[in-house]
Structure 1
């Protein structure tokens, strides 16, 4: 395997695929990366035509700000597949020395392996750091044979696992077609769940409320009224309206909530400035103001089909303000923009009563040690049964009317959540 942008040596067929490791995303031109990340081949199964988290702008902001690095335990080692110097596919990959910021939890696996005398870290993580959002992980250039490109990327990841002496490869929050492809070459398949809100063509928020059962509708109206009862107003800030003052305010909220919930927030102030510089049209800040100062806010990223809620924070506590800023304002925005859904992060059964539905998440895991692999495979068989049973139970608890108002109540059968 080649690394650091070195070309493969020796004669090679013009059609031969070569694999190299790229230690900095900046070494790949943004246009080439995004050509793969946003291709129909990559986005198949996601319901999206633009996933902002896998773009060069987002991932490079994480690297340039120092949120991902060897120092933070997220060492970039992106795997690139090329044909005659042209990028065929790439996988955003990181060498990890811990299991923080992933949301597909394997701490128990690490502890068990350590007790048995093994070394679980380092491991390889193929994901968007700190982001529990489904999106392509095997990024394939348009027009390339999908099966061939996926196989080359997965083989490259396995070669990198051997080269780095990593215990395992973890590909998290995958679209179902890529999950299936990984399973076909021996990756263990894992499932989990989230809660998403579907826009069923609502004209406005009141139309959405009209689809709910009477008791749920009254409860949501009361929560929205109570959230703003202390003179709080809400602002949507996006695009060229974003300023450093907005980021200063939001970062205070993020740090306060993050320090209390997880001890060490993952993102730094520089990252948010870079985000505002590089992709402002894809950012939505929902900011709550009281007495001429911002007191709470949530950051969302905007796709072509979905609004993705990510981080929330506050410096004042007000009843139901979290629900208003993170969930109800997101629904309002999605309706106004004609977006198909809202994805409000990991966890959160409380989202179900607020109109969000359960959806299955997918991840794939390649374990080097045969004994550990067998134990994890057995665990995953049981876990998948629990997840499917929970999805069925959640689907039966829909808040929508059962007289025709609920047109999509059933669950799809397909874990830092600050929003959740």
Structure 2
């Protein structure tokens, strides 16, 4: 007598893993994370994209790259950040966008840490501006970028987010019952083959989306570099008669045995402190004694106010009144970035030192030497000047303690 087969117990469903249970919550958490990263990168791009020359100066201030690469990075970075922001905002190719963002933040952190370690005093230039500053905020910048890096790494590891378009993955075929007929087995095999084909097509679509995102990330900065190169303004540069070949204004005898190069920005408060103090008297005395020739290399990284002031200094040099106007300029120095050194301010300062002729007034009003001011600022940046004031005596940098100690400076200048 045959015993009927015992029916098999239905398979118990496999409980979802902890990571599977958490994934929906993590995908919702990914939404504010990617929006925050998109907002930061988008704001950074918008603040820089209209002034690629300023971004180039900001990159150059780190003194880490060769000159040609500094120009390419400065011109292409804002567009690169903008495309990254759009990818994060939409959630397209999220894993790729988050991974690239993480890499970019690592590069930023390396630059900031390197600048701090080398004693440079620069603004990071993350949101426009950049270049030398009297008040670097390295700690805050490192903390900020480290937190953003953690978000980017988390997004890259997760790879998906809610509220983001993504090609729908095919559903796996339903499990077949044990002991099914030969026909059912063939049907199950065909379903598995169709699923494998659909899965391959799904993966191909994902690869195409990632490839498109990668192409956009590459093409955007290249296009920005090409546009910047094609549209870079080339105003006529009128050079003041007293200018040196290196872009300075020389004061003193050409036969003096020593040369002192002074890097200054008319808005720099420490430059004002130097020029209103006894150190300026020590420099003037050395010039008067014929032991030193001074070359003023004028910077204008603090904005249009500085450009106007440098252009006015060049106009004063044409009239033989550079030293007098230079000193008076610092005696009336406005606070940094407050809109000072207006044309009327500069003309009033000029009248105080006897610059009352039409030629000076016309040069100041027309900003005749503004292109030259920007050109020499660019040259000073290329020559490695990263802070103001800076003194270089016969090519050697004078340390800050000596620079602000009139007695020590007088001894050094002989």
TM-score for the superposition, normalised by structure 2:
0.28
Name the structure with the higher helix share: 2
Answer 1 or 2: higher relative contact order, Cα 8 Å, separation at least 6.
Answer: 1
Name the structure with the higher strand share: 1
Q: Which has the larger radius of gyration?
A: 2
